[in-house]
A and B are shown apart, each in its own frame.
Chain A
Amino acid sequence: MSSQKKLVVAHAPYWHDGSKISSKNYNIMIAALPAVLMGISQYGAPALAVIAFAMACAMIWEVVWNLILKKPASVGDGSAAVTGLLLGMLMPATAPWWLIALGTLIAIIVGKQIFGGIGFNPLNPPLLALAMLVISFTGIFDFNESLRHYDLGFVMTYPLADLKAFGPEAISKFGLGDLFMGRQAGAIGSTFGLGLIVGGLYLMLRGYMRWELSLSFLAGVFITALLFNLSDSAKYAGPLFHLLTGYTLIAAFFLVPEDSSSPANFIPMLIFGAMAGMMTVLIRNIGAYVDGVVFAVLLMNLCNPLLDKIRPKAIGKVVENA
């Protein structure tokens, strides 16, 4: 016998394409940067504080949960940081610290960890937290109210609130170009349309996001808004306005394509996105809430397990009793 070497055995395959959860999440953060930086440049230090505090809190809740349950540390995968970042981006710059601490607690613990952690959350964690906060603290998420001390050199009323209160004539003061370039009141990271689109395209091209979900969501918003607008343009705003205001773009590129709460098969992805887009406009135009994105996406999250049952027949599958 020759000298025995200690070899490592494992099961096939021995190659891997090198992808990791952490690099995926870091890339999502990179993609979110343009919109975040725009928000920080507009609202200054308070916006930076909200974003930083939200990310820190989310990661701390994750660590605390892991310590309490004696589970291996999972904060390194970047998932908690992404959740915190997205929740921060959905908040107004004036959000108080306790709101952020509470919101991230809901997102990490209630939204994700009690279901078993990453990959098991049936609902989008930042959106679930936001929905609870919006219902509980309506005043803070009334952007006209919370941003009243800011004058950034453009119309400082929240476009969707104006639309809800005064109808489409009231929104003629918002130029589409201004809305696209982030010159509108709103949450820190959700107003800069160009930045969000660039970030979204980056994620799509790198393969970190399912493009079907984003594009079908945008198509759902566009087509539904267009139909409303065609039926009565004096009552309903145009489709581009709906695309560029509120949470539409951040939802399309960062919230709808969240992995665990959205379908993975092709046709379900299209249905999921389109239905979420449709619900968004329905809530905005008919419902009670100013922005329908949060509840529309959460509602579709609930349909996800059912939708994902629509799948192609596996090759070779034998259908009995057919």
Chain B
Amino acid sequence: MSLNLGPGKLFRTASAWLCIGMTEAAFAQAGAAPGSASIFSPASTPADSIYHLSLFVLAICGAIFLAVFSLLVYSVVKFRRRAGDDGREPPQIYGSNQMELAWTVIPVLIVVVLFLASARVIHAVEDARFPAGTTEVTVVGHQFWWEFQYPQQGFIAANELHVPVSDPQHPTPTHLTLLSADTDHSFWVPRLAGKTDLIPNRTNNMWIDPHETGVYVGQCAQYCGTQHAKMLLRVIVQSRADFERWVVEQRQPAQPPGDSVAKGRQVFETTACVNCHTVAGTNANGKFGPDLTHLMSRETIAAGAALNNRENLRQWVQDPDSFKPGALMPAMQLDEHDLDAVTDYLVTLK
């Protein structure tokens, strides 16, 4: 065997460029779309280590592809039967043990390398240890929305997960305990981490340590029923100070509303609303739907299906199916007057 590494190296370089090209295409797309969630623009350690592993895997697969594809193209071009063929059969070759050995041993070596590279990242992500000061959040999947319990701080939020930013030098990660109230779900915010399923009667774990503030989008990635498509996720990464301020606000019970919305509050508390929703500090303490104590602190309603404003809230209470057909919230059958009143009340829940 001569040590002719030239073509091999060339292949690898070329394939690496090919992969980077593909990645760039994905990036370009990511740049164009503000709501992008490309797995190739990681912003947190688990997503980042997956990203680096994926580049390595893509480079190897790209090299294999180029090698085998070239052989295929060469065979198709070189060995096609020409016009004016003499009609004789080509020499019959039944096999070659040397060739078989070569194309067995080389793939085995590649597989060993890929396995070791994977095992390293599996260990780093799954068996990570957490520093003191890790934020704990318990995520409960529901058909078709997300419940976020903050056990250390003692309050519950929904659909928009607020976490503090983490400095890579002094990481302050967020550890998520994943539970489900009904069917299987999966927590997937591609720029922060790979997905982990939320499975009823089972406790799963994952963690994120976002390096930059901002909003990261994602959604449920395991089919969970009719409205699986609109079980969207927003992770809002805040500076430590902003996060602490948000926590203080969330821990407050609902501000006693003024007289102007007393009627709305009365409608809310005397209809079926209270069976499913909680407003801390009132007699509404249902658990099936999202906690509404600080409803207006969220940017969206219906797990991201609509922007959170007065008009949408009113329509949501009147006819949830208009945003999210199949959502488990029933149409409340209120008359126009009560509907306006209850909407007025809801928008005071800041």
- Indicate, yes or no, whether A interacts with B: no
